[in-house]
Structure 1
Amino acid sequence: MRRLILIICFFSQSYIALSQTWEAGVSAGAAGYMGDLNPVKPYTFTDPVFGGQIKRNFNGHWSAKVGFMSCTIQGDDAKSSNGYQIDRNLQFRTALSELSLQAELNLFNYLPGGLPGFGSRRFSPYLFTGVGALAFNPVADYNGSEVELHPLQTEGVDYKKQALSAIYGAGVKYNLSGNWNIIGELGYRTAFTDYLDDVSARYPDFAANPPASPTTPALSDRSLSQSGSPGVQRGDFRPRDTYMFTAISLTYTFVSIKCPTF
């Protein structure tokens, strides 16, 4: 009887413990951008990204995660195959940092930690969504130097360098061994700003509104044909830019099990 109780306790406590566990890990991968300088290629990844995460697994299907990612994103009209973009000749890059809160849904019953769970799988595809807070600061190369674009107000707009973003994506989790897990994911972020690239709408009228800096007109209109007349389209008029990450994460699951002694 004592042995039977211990067995029942072990499996029930294992399942309960696994139903609510903490998980932490690090991530590395690639970052990309889609916006006024890359309007049609959601698969363009240009720079490395690094980050970390702390996760609460509520059960085999639902988790909540706090994550941090740091990267650079960039775009360059000169690398486009579109004639308008080549003539427009704009270029940017920005260091970007993101703090996020995400919810994950495992499509299979995934209980990491190296302990048995009823109907659990060692791997699972998953979906995620959430909200992020990001900071960015676009720069461009000009006359051999790196120039911050925000203070120049190249479109006559004093935009904020912080914004929120809507997060969505998918991935796959696999329990390597015991408490160790490897996770691969692809995620997109719709930023609630159109100025990640310092480009949004129209060329400004510097005759009516004096430029913020003597350098502003030169970096506002870099077109090869000098076609940036006031009111002419400069951006793609979409209200938001997008950035994306594809990353591999290595995580460790913290599990504690306590059974009464006899």
Structure 2
Amino acid sequence: MRYKKLVLSLLFFFGLLSTVSAQRAEVGIDAGGAGYMGDLNVNNPLKISGISAGIFAKINFDPYWGLGLYYTYGSVKANDLSSSNADLRKRGLNFKSNLHEISILTELNFFDIYSPVAKKRFTPFIFAGIGGFIFNPKANYGGGDATLRIYRTEGPLEQYKNYAITVPYGAGAKYRLTENLTLFSKIGYRTAFTDHLDDVSGVYPAANSWKGDPPNQAAYSYFLSDPHKILQK
């Protein structure tokens, strides 16, 4: 899978606090669950593996359109050994990563719930935008965590960047509880323009790929790249 998709949402929590009159400016918080789709989760786009939380500030141009700046934290993980796929269990890879994203999102409400003459309190909405995020995949090995990027698990020349562009998009629903407080729930995906979110991308390197490295580091890199080969010996 060339690009990873993050379910950095299923955000069930809820806080939108108006800071000026007529709901023109808003600040808020959200929290919920996070997950990912990629080489260690190939067919379940709703699988939640960690938490997600964030803060935002948004300007509403009218009752329908808004533009906001968002910070989102997420944690995701996956383990081949818990997969229902026998080939993945045989491979035996695992990873976890914390994610920090900054994004700019535009939002469209379907109904007017904010103007002085609004007759509705509920509206569906959709959103999309662009952002960037930092990630740092780690794997459990020997009772501790190995920072996979350091060990260049796809070969000695493959030390990828730990940041990438994302394209967030999704949908949700809002309910205007009071004049200054709105509750919302949403589900959102991110297409992340990196193939290294889970540290899995290309091919398994050969055992002698790290010839110039100290023996312990070379063996460690090889095991983290393809553990089932070591375990079969």
TM-score, normalised to structure 2's length? 0.83
Identity in percent: 38
8 A Cα contact 1:152 1:211, kept in partner: no
Change (3 A) 1:179 1:104: same
| Number of positions where the alignment pairs a residue of Structure 1 with one of Structure 2 | 206
Amino acid at match of 1:110: I
Q: Give the C-alpha shift of residue 206 in structure 1.
A: 4.2
Distance 2:120 2:137 in 1: 44
Q: Show CA shifts across 1:127-182 (max 9, x none).
A: 10001210000001111111100010101211110001111100001101121010
Distance 2:154 2:212 in 1: 9
Three-state SS of the structure 1 residue aligned to 2:204 is: coil
8 A Cα contact 1:56 1:64, kept in partner: yes
Partner of 1:154: 153
Please say if 1:218 is aligned against 2:223.
yes
Partner of 1:90: 93
Partner of 1:144: 143
Unaligned runs of 5+ in 1: 1-16, 228-262
Distance 1:121 1:194 in 2: 43
Partner of 1:38: 41
Amino acid at match of 2:64: H
Unaligned runs of 5+ in 2: 1-20
Q: Which runs of 4+ in 1 moved over 4 A?
A: 224-227
Amino acid at match of 2:151: L
Q: Give the C-alpha shift of residue 226 in structure 1.
A: 5.8
CA RMSD of aligned residues (A): 1.8
Q: Give the C-alpha shift of residue 185 in structure 1.
A: 0.5
Distance 1:130 1:29 in 2: 20
Q: Give the C-alpha shift of residue 209 in structure 1.
A: 5.4
Mapping of residues 2-151 of structure 1, within 5 Å: 18=22, 21-111=24-114, 116-117=116-117, 119-151=118-150
Distance 1:136 1:120 in 2: 44
Amino acid at match of 1:109: D
Amino acid at match of 1:43: L
Distance 1:27 1:39 in 2: 27
